[in-house]
Amino acid sequence: MASQHVPTFTRFSESTKQDWDNITELYKKTQRDVANQVLEQLHKLDGELDGYPVTRLEHSLQTATRAERDGKSMEYVMCALLHDIGDSLAPDNHEAVAAAIIKPFVSEAHHWMVAHHGIFQGYYFWQHIGLNQHARDAYIDSPYYELTAEFCAKYDQVSFDPIYESHSLSYYEPHVRTFFRC
């Protein structure tokens, strides 16, 4: 039985090639597990209603299903599914969490869309909570402004319907695995 290499460095400047060969192999294992971690986090959105008409998972499934049924690319659909994945981890900046997760796997446009959807979504309700519903207009010159505005208008803000028949998470599981290249 081969023994596992145990590094002895206490700072990177003391590390060896053998250390990094081992770390690289373990990194590959961690990367292969990303889809499992993402699916687990999505399951965590299937809890309380938290004041919404549907769970956060159902909202995500509706958003993805609507985008898919509208003929959007699978990359777009995965962004729709994952756009609120950070809700339970960082409610005040959930879009930054989602954007960080998807960044290595999507185009710049789709990354920007997910990273900014929160402020664009505000257009539909921020006036009710004392915020500027037109805050998104600070980004009017972005080449991705219309993409993000469309995402929120057609898929995100309308996906709180308790009777909408969305695809299940098990339906999207193979797509998630492909998306994260597992």
User: How does pLDDT run across 39-86, given as a tens digit for each residue?
Assistant: 999 999 998 778 899 999 999 999 999 999 999 999 999 999 999 999
User: pLDDT tier at 32 (50, 70, 90 boundaries)?
Assistant: confident
User: pLDDT tier at 121 (50, 70, 90 boundaries)?
Assistant: very high
Residue boundaries of the structural domains of the chain:
32-179
Q: Is the CATH number 1.10.3210.10 carried by domain 32-179?
A: yes
pLDDT of the residue at 94: 94
pLDDT digits (tens, 9 = 90+) for 15-24: 999 988 888 8
Using CA atoms, how far apart are residues 68 and 80, in angstroms rounded to an integer?
Answer: 9
For residues 148 and 120, is the Cβ–Cβ distance under 8 A? Answer: yes
For the chain, the three-class secondary structure string (H helix, E strand, C coil) is CCCCCCCCCCCHHHCCHHHHHHHHHHHHHHHHCHHHHHHHHHHHCCCCCCCCCCCHHHHHHHHHHHHHHCCCCHHHHHHHHHCCCCCCCCHHHHHHHHHHHHHHHCCHHHHHHHHHHHHHHHHHCHHHHCCCCCHHHHHCCCCCHHHHHHHHHHHHCCCCCCCCCCCCHHHHHHHHHHHCCC
